[in-house]
Chain A
Amino acid sequence: MQGTVSPEAIIDNGIMAIDTATCLHCGACVGACPPNSIFLNEVLITFDDSCTQCGLCVKTCPVGAIDFPRGHKRSELR
């Protein structure tokens, strides 16, 4: 399981990308987000366009389910 990301599990809206297979819906990213751009409704996480791509959610996510969007210089997605 560790270290693999299945492409179909990634929801990438061009703002940030969520690995839905890894996300535990814990809300750590929501509380960490400085501009309050993340909304979590049970199992659905969305990023809105007030996001500044500061990356604090990427660091805060305990299981590594958040990444920068594809094409972003700090993205690890291919």
Chain B
Amino acid sequence: MPRFRDEYDVIVVGAGPGGSNTARFAALNGARTLLLEKRQDIGSPVRCGEGLSKVHLAEAGITVDKRWFTNEVEGAHIISPGGYRLTIGRKYAGSEVGMVIERDIFDKTLALDAAKAGSEIMVKATVTDVTRENGSVTGVRVEHFADKFNLKAGCVVAADGFESQVGRWAGLNTMLKGGDIMSCLQYRLTGVEVDPLYCEFYLGNEVAPGGYVWVFPKAGDTANIGIGVMAKKVKAKADAKTYLDRFIERDPRIKDGKPLDWVAGGVSASPPLEKTVGPGIMLVGDAARQIDPITGGGIANACRAGKIAGEVLGEAAQTGDFSLDQLMKYETGWRAKMENTLYRNWMAKERLARLDDETLDKLVDSLADAGVERLSVLAILEAVKAKHPELVKDFADFI
């Protein structure tokens, strides 16, 4: 085991995809980098539906690897409350389908890439606070087994996921409204008979209020079956579990499946944050609320943002300039890539969450009828106008 320094150019908190990719590109670009993970086992337990598209991986510097890519899908079905079904082909399957991956292996592979690039890694290292001098973050307070100590850094990167506290300790506002929090639960069930080539998304106020149920096929007769419900719409404790259990009980293909694991967690579906950078601090991935508010997918965006962050931090280390101006290059960089999409999809989510079941049926029926394969705004509006012109006013301002 290496001896750890007490000072680094970059300390990344959290070894998920966003954190590991940040550490990798920071180290590749010459920063002395430390990646901290609170758990003893990077990648476990999995907290993810495991759907991923190849679209943005190359941009994030990640090559597809058979170790974690075990099931390719052709596309996705979107199923309305009344059973109308819209099928989206592979080419247009949006940002979060295409592959169903093994997240634990994916995360370990990315951490391994960070290590190969020269980053150090400390596991079972919980960050309990940030240190500050003159209004700037200067490092982190760490608990590592029985030891408690401070580490200094030119910049601390909070890649600590949905439950991010590091950014908040550093004074960045990451607070979410109840309408922007999805309460999620998933079972990996084996012994199910689902189509291995399609991901399925079920909509409806009786199915998943403000969210959806997903069925993502894994290798073998196994699938990830999960639910996200909007926290604001939760009526009773454990609604996520109640609705998911009811869904499974009513679907003969899956009701006798045996659980291999339970996965719970929160997912943000929020507009982009006002600030993801402060003096000595950056937010990356779920911690920066970079999740797509429509799909709930966060892996690709976290990896894309991580690469940008790592490159900016490498440059900072090379020039010895960790000023706010330098760090702001990350803020500008990630927003140029994804801010518009995140904002537009948040607006669409807000709209969809207000529709009643009858309207959802009409919407999905119109799209299926018109053979809309591509979810572009114009194509959707034209299809809806042709069959249910009265619905267009609900979406006209998206043009």
Residues in A lying within 8 Å of B, measured CB to CB: 24, 26-32, 34, 36, 39-42, 56, 58-64, 66-67, 76
The residues of B with any CB-CB pair to A shorter than 8 Å are 38-39, 47, 126, 143, 161-165, 168-169, 175-176, 178, 181, 183-185, 231-232, 234, 236-241, 262-266, 268
CB <8 Å contact, A34 and B175? yes
Min CB–CB distance B212 → chain A (angstroms):
14
Name the distance in Å between A75's Cβ and chain B's nearest Cβ.
11
Measured between alpha carbons, how far is A33 from B25 in the docked complex, in Å?
32
Q: How far is the CA of A26 from the CA of B183 in the complex (A)?
A: 11
Q: Is the CB of A28 within 8 A of B164?
A: no
Q: Tell me which residues across on chain A come within 8 A of B47, comparing CB atoms.
A: 26
14 pairs, A vs B, C-beta closer than 8 Å: A24-B264, A26-B266, A27-B265, A28-B162, A31-B162, A31-B176, A58-B237, A59-B234, A61-B238, A62-B183, A63-B238, A64-B237, A66-B237, A76-B237
Instruction: Kindly state the separation between the CA atoms of A76 and B232 in the bound complex, as whole angstroms.
Output: 19
Quick one: which of B176, B185, B264 contacts A32, CB cutoff 8 A? B176
Kindly list chain A residues whose C-beta atoms are within 8 Å of the C-beta of B184. 28, 62
Give the docked Cα–Cα distance between A27 and B169 (Å): 17
A23 nearest CB neighbor, chain B only = B264
A31–B268 CB distance below 8 A:
yes
Q: Provide the bound-state CA to CA distance between A41 and B262, in Å.
A: 19
Say whether B264 contacts A26, CB under 8 Å: yes
A41-B38, A61-B238 known, 19 other contacts, Cβ within 8 Å? A24-B264, A27-B161, A27-B163, A27-B266, A28-B266, A30-B163, A31-B161, A31-B162, A31-B163, A31-B266, A32-B231, A39-B165, A42-B39, A59-B178, A59-B234, A60-B266, A63-B264, A64-B237, A64-B238
